Structure 1
Amino acid sequence: MNPALLTTTDAVDPVFKFIIWACVLLLGGITATVIWFAVRYRRSCAPEPTSQVENNFWLETIWIVLPSILVLAMFYYGWAGYLTLRTVPKAALPVTATARMWSWSFSYANGKTSPKLVVPVGKPVVMNLVSSDIIHGFFLPAFRVKRDVVPGMKNHVWFVADKVGSYDLFCSQYCGKGHSAMITTVEAVPEAEFAAWLEHKEAAGGVKKSDGARLAKEKGCLACHSLDGSRGVGPTFKGLYHKQTTVLQNGRKLTMTVDDAYIRESIRFPNAKIVEGFQPIMPSIGDLKDVEVDTLVEFIKEVK
């Protein structure tokens, strides 16, 4: 790791420590002063009123100048930290984080995708934040970064993992009933191990049939489509296969039987045929491989 590199943790922690110690000193000083005045000027020690002091130039100067210096110091440290958080280091590794109800997907420059964020130790990583549906929040407490992920809005964060480990990544904006489950991890690994992982390609049959439920959850399918027959944002998967359904295509009503081709088309082109009674709001999931689509089709067929 480059020792001269100021990390996000380096930018945030000193500000918090400064504010905490300033608050501790103020609390101690004010409390001690209140106690001293309460004891010194209690009725038994001063039964007669003292003379009324209308003004004191030095006292007024102190309580204006010192708080002003303190506030300006807080502003300076906060602004310097903010600039560090928003200024991406050169040669940072770009990764696109796609948030959807209720999962994360991470895409790398070579096309590799992963439900976990894998990063090399000691190298800056810039996260380009994208939302497929509603507002989410990219929150990585170990590296002191949190940023809203808003549909249609460009946003980013960056960080450096300075040691090998696994770190929690949360969604910080309430996004529905599955919000609490929208958790994944950041895996910080040595640079050589990361390079090998990045170049590793799964075999064509690398996705097993049993992975259907996992894929449906990771890709956000279960945010809108239930497995128990209950109505959601989209049609339930329960009993969907071979079901007669009415769809809208280019404004025309069609009655059709749900088969493999229809499910596959609905995954690739979600708004081509809209089931009657539902809104055309399903986002396109462009990072799905053919084998993953096949796995999802088989999974949906088996939901009885």
Structure 2
Amino acid sequence: MLMNKASSSLLDQYKVMERMKKQHRILKRKLPAILDVITDAEEQATAHREGAKAWLQELKIVAYKANEVFDEFKYEALRREAKKNGHCNKLGFDVIKLFPTHNRVVFRYKMGRKLCEILHAIEVLIVEMQVFGFKYQPQPPVSKQWRQTDYVIIDPREIAGRSRGKDKKNIVDTLFGQSTNADLTIVPIVGMGGLGKTTLAQLIYNEPEIQKHFQLLLWVCVSDTFDVNSLAKSIVEASPNNNDDTDKPPLERLKKLVSGQRFLLVLDDVWNREVYKWERLKVCLQHGGMGSAMLTTTRDKQVS
């Protein structure tokens, strides 16, 4: 995630890192050095090497801070994009509040200091990883469907207490409040790209009380394609429960999977507005048990 954010073309397009190019290049060179040895570090931590455990914990802290820093760069790039395209004037007061006027000199000074702190922390981690003798291990190819399972990457205990804690609590309370509702509850998380919708959904999905409350938890990334049969098939395949009726239509398999089960289904990154497609999916999902819910993340209010 951090590599993707550090390499975002938005940062160059809107020059939010001017006079920080050198540090930015160094960071992009040094991050792969850590990724090269992280598998070995995790294996050593599993083998109860306390030094490796401590190193990985520090890496998590630094990575989280670095993600926050690059989120700030991205928000500034989005602000400049909105200003360039005249959206601030068209959309009015709410956008002015969201993107307050920035002094570029102050922004550059503040962010330059933060970037140098991150770079120093990463350089310390690299020195330590050489001391521990972590070695490169070839990685298996990354699946193109990585977003369908990326909710397991983030440890919710590390970030639940931060700024998204209140939003998480509100949605968790909403889901619990529908436990006696026979109808399917649908809760949308709506916002522009880069504001942390998927991270918030991850926090909710991984919440221990949620894991206990729902009998079946499912996570699927939807993105641009919304073919009902393909989506139903993806939902079924996301289930840990055995479902061997592969000769049956996907919607029938989905209906059988959720029948009588109080489930939570997360559909991440939804774009589709075609009501009849949603209705076909909903017919199957309504066979779930009382208190079943669907959590969606989307950039489009009409989708929600």
With a CA cutoff of 8 Å and minimum separation of 6, indicate the structure with the bigger relative contact order. Answer: 2
What's the TM-score once normalised by structure 2's chain length? 0.23
Bigger proportion of residues as helix: 2
What's the TM-score once normalised by structure 1's chain length? 0.23
